[in-house]
Structure 1
Amino acid sequence: MTELALRRSLVSAVSGWTLGAALCSLAILAGGPAAAQDCAADNGDLDARYCDANGDLVADAPTDPAELLNPDTLVFAYTPVEDPAIYEDIWQPFIDHLEEVTGRDVEFFAVQSNSAQVEAMRSGRLHIAGFSTGPTPFAVNLAGSVPFAIMGSEDGRFGYTLQVYTRKDSGIDEMADLEGARVAHTSPTSNSGNLAPRALFPKLGIVPEEDYEVVYSGSHDQSMLGVVAGDYDAAPVASEVVDRMAERGLYDPEEVQIIYESKPFPTTSYNYVYNLDPALVEKIKEAFFTFDFEGTALGEEFGGVEQFIPIDYKDDWEVIREIQAANGVTYTPEGLAAE
């Protein structure tokens, strides 16, 4: 079996397991206990268990000190990736720094799906997490996550683009050539992998599922590998993901081409759960904003990133919420179940 065939076999097996885990998580998410609060203000899209008195679109911290969490061990999770074991090693320098600044033990939690990650934070088993762009509003509204940081440059810039890749020998050289093609979208809740294409491509004269067949691959990695292998004719993917894949030698950039690129979107958001003790939250923020990427495995993995910078969910995720609204997305367990 070739290396590529082996990789595709493993990806298929993992995807099958992940689906079962996600369905289990969603069952818990839909049926778990929810202590709804009596809020004076309009909660917007937030679940009934949360309040938003200041209108910043994220859950307020509980007013009752007895409801605050102050765990001895903090649980941290990065967004689901093809090989969580690799990313646990990559994140270790940051975890060491987080332990030093907070004075707490930190456990890395390898999540298998966006649904499982949201459920883990909602149920209180996850305290700090990096949520992908598209799932971030689900985490905010269903799990009480509070986005506060993003990877960026020293001058405060951050973001990634939606890129559409094809093989150079595919005969597909522009968006109009996607007519009748088999195109890999990642997952229903993914921003660059599904929602943005559905909102943006019609303006280019190409309507997903009308002009081309949509096939869900499960991840940006699998979409890109599928294009390289010829399983898909094209794929919309996040630039930051395919750049890292190229750096790791997972595909040959000479075999593919970009036929479309969007304006920048925000990348993975870093969040704490709303009911963490405020003093602990300040220590967590301090750890993020003082971490030095230079010379670490994390800095090598995320090339061009120099620091964590502050974000504002209400402002910085506005374009994402608009794209999701255009796609009829609702921030409910049923909406997340599409994952």
Structure 2
Amino acid sequence: MISRRTLGAGLVLGALLRTGPSLSQGADPDTLKVALLPDESASTIIQNNQGLKSYLEERLGKRIELVVTTDYSSMIEAMRFKRIDLGYFGPLSYVLAKSRSPGIEPFAALVSGGKPTYTSYLIANVNAGIAKAEDVRGKTVGFGDPASTSSHLIPRGLLKNLGLEAGEDFKFQHLGTHDAVARAVEAGNVQAGGISRTIFETLVERKLIDSSKVKVVAESRPIPNYPWTLRGDLTPALKDKIKSAFLEMKDPAILKPFKAEAFGPITDADYDVLRETAKLLNIDLTKVKG
């Protein structure tokens, strides 16, 4: 005679066995939530990316919901708790997200100038007496957000490699955005600053800063570009379709909001340069507010 306990256990095991195959195969949601960088107003970002939405719906055969979180930190948390399925991160923000959600996978990075990399500049006020990076000794350097790749981590690492320690050999201030750094350097409020090469060139081109007052004194080594990431627990077939959709994306109208020529393949190992730089600077990435 079978006891109620044995019968109950058998029913639970049967339920687990019935659901086991689908769980092991991964998630395959009808609607994919795609998170975009919160670097403009949410309405503007969503409007500018309607082409991406339509393209992905056609390629993947799924409904696409575009999501713009309030900031990088909330985007990282949304990926961590699987409230989004795909996310477009900044390089350092991706590293922070990966440290908190090991299962997420980078699969494509922005390509510009034919490469899935970009660089950071160290710029200086022309009247600050800075001809090369080493000349910031005794000066004040402006960095962007602490979680910024090209406006903080990389330029600070560049100076560290030259034997210059932030807070000891030079003073520094966190100014938030890249353009705030450029304006502070132009005005002489700080003598030098870290900024993305692409952003600096755009500011100069649009005459938002006076190029006669600011000069480039150093350029970093290549940095892996902004990555697209996905949840690691999606089905292998869905992952393959998503990767193909991005790597085969050719429409300039869809790529324009990203200032991209295309998206190229990339892996987590490509971002080790950021982890190594953080280690060099004794920065605990688990304590960086991303």
> 2:112 touches 2:118 (CA, 8 Å); kept in 1?
no
Compute the TM-score of the two structures, normalised by the length of structure 2: 0.81
Residues in 1 aligned to 2:113 and 2:144: alpha-carbon distance in whole angstroms: 31
Q: CA deviation at 1:331?
A: 4.9
Maintained 8 Å contact 1:73/1:107? yes
1:298 has 2:255 as partner:
yes
Aligned equivalent of 1:322: 276
Seen in structure 2, the aligned counterparts of structure 1 residues 297 and 94 have a Cα distance that, compared at 3 Å, is closer
Q: Over residues 175-209 of structure 1, what are the superposed CA-to-partner deviations in whole Å (9 max), with x where a residue is unaligned?
A: 24323333221233333222223333133243211
Residues 166 and 258 of structure 1 are in contact (CA less than 8 Å); yes or no, is this contact kept in structure 2?
yes
Query: Which shifted more, 178-187 or 168-177?
Result: 168-177
- Cα distance, 1:245 vs. partner? 3.9
Q: Does 1:145 align with 2:145?
A: no
Q: Single out whichever of 177-186 and 129-138 deviates more from structure 2.
A: 177-186
RMSD after superposition: 2.7
Change in 2 beyond 3 A, CA 1:90/1:255? farther
Decide whether the 8 Å contact of 1:244 with 1:301 is kept in 2.
no
Name the SS for the 1:299 alignment partner.
helix
- For the structure 1 residues 88 and 232, does the alpha-carbon distance in structure 2 shift closer, same or farther, using more than 3 Å as the test? farther
Q: Can you give the 5+ residue segments of structure 2 that lack an aligned partner in the other structure?
A: 1-19
Identify the residue that residue 189 of structure 1 maps to in structure 2: 147
Pick from 262, 265, 283 the counterpart of residue 310 of structure 1.
265
Contact 1:185 1:236 in 2 (8 A): yes
Structure 2 CA distance for aligned equivalents of residues 154 and 209 of structure 1: 35
Which one-letter code corresponds to 1:150 in the other structure? A
Q: 1:277 to 1:154 in 2, by over 3 A?
A: farther
Higher mean displacement: 258-267 or 98-107: 98-107
* 2:154–2:220 contact (8 Å) kept in structure 1: no
1:248 Cα offset (Å): 5.0
Task: State which of 221, 225, 228 in structure 1 corresponds to 2:183.
Answer: 225
Aligned residues: 269
Letter in 2 for 1:310: P
Q: TM-score, normalised by structure 1?
A: 0.70
SS of equivalent residue, structure 1 residue 81: coil
1:215-246 CA distances to partner (integer Å, 9 max, x unpaired)? 11223233223333444332111212333444
Of all paired residues, the percent bearing the same amino acid is 29
Per-residue Cα deviation, 1:15-50 (whole angstroms, up to 9, x for no partner) = xxxxxxxxxxxxxxxxxxxxxxxxxxxxxxxxxxxx
The Cα shift of 1:163 comes to 0.3
1:107 to 34, 47, 65: 65
Q: Counting strand residues as a fraction of each chain, which structure ranks higher?
A: 2
Structure of greater Rg: 2
Aligned with residue 271 of structure 1, among 229, 232, 235? 229
CA distance 1:208–1:312, shift in 2 (3 Å): same
Counterparts of residues 203-282 of structure 1 (less than 5 Å): 203-282=161-240
Query: Is 1:126 matched with 2:84?
Result: yes
Q: Equivalents in 2 of 1:158, 1:64: separation in Å?
A: 37
Rate the CA distance shift 1:118–1:206 in 2: closer, same or farther, 3 A.
same
